[in-house]
């Protein structure tokens, strides 16, 4: 049985290839909705022209299915645009000390 906790654990295994940080920690996941064994995810990319977008979607789909989902529906949105949190900025060396 898929749960929100299992879904989040799976998302934490999906790394952004450019930044080397998982999609959950980066804040790319806006919403997770579970109905039975179907998981619907609303997410964004670090930029609209992200060359790794299709790869990320496939990786998320595979890992969430492996966690127990029978179907994964991913909606990619760009409103609101992704903005890294202060914590993420520090992790990436983008924040002032």
Structure confidence by residue, pLDDT tens digits, 1-53: 899 999 999 999 999 999 999 999 999 999 999 999 999 999 999 999 999 99
Strand ordering across the sheet containing 38-43: 29-35, 38-43, 71-76
Domains and CATH numbers, the chain: 4-91 (3.30.300.130)
Residue 97 is predicted with a pLDDT of 59
Q: Tell whether the model's pLDDT for residue 93 goes beyond 90.
A: no
Q: Where does residue 39 fall: left (phi above 0), alpha (psi -120 to 50 degrees), or beta otherwise? A: beta
pTM of the full predicted structure? 0.92
82 touches 45 (CB < 8 A): yes
In this prediction, residues 70-79 reach a mean pLDDT of: 97
Q: What pLDDT, on the 0 to 100 scale, is given for residue 94?
A: 83
What is the Cα–Cα distance from 43 to 82, expressed in whole angstroms?
Answer: 9
Is pLDDT of 54 > 80?
A: yes
Mean pLDDT, to the nearest integer, of 47-63?
A: 95
pLDDT score of 79 more than 80: yes
| pLDDT at site 27 | 96
């Amino acid at each position: 049985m898929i749960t929100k906790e299992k879904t989040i654990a799976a998302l934490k295994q999906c790394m952004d290839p450019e930044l080397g940080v998982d999609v959950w920690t980066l804040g790319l996941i806006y919403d997770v909705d579970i109905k039975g064994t179907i998981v619907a995810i609303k997410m964004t990319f670090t930029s609209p022209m992200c060359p790794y977008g299709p790869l990320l979607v496939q990786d998320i789909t595979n890992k969430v299915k492996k966690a127990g989902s029978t179907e994964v529906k991913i909606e990619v949105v760009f409103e609101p645009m992704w903005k890294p949190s202060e914590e993420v900025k520090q992790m990436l060396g983008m924040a002032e000390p």
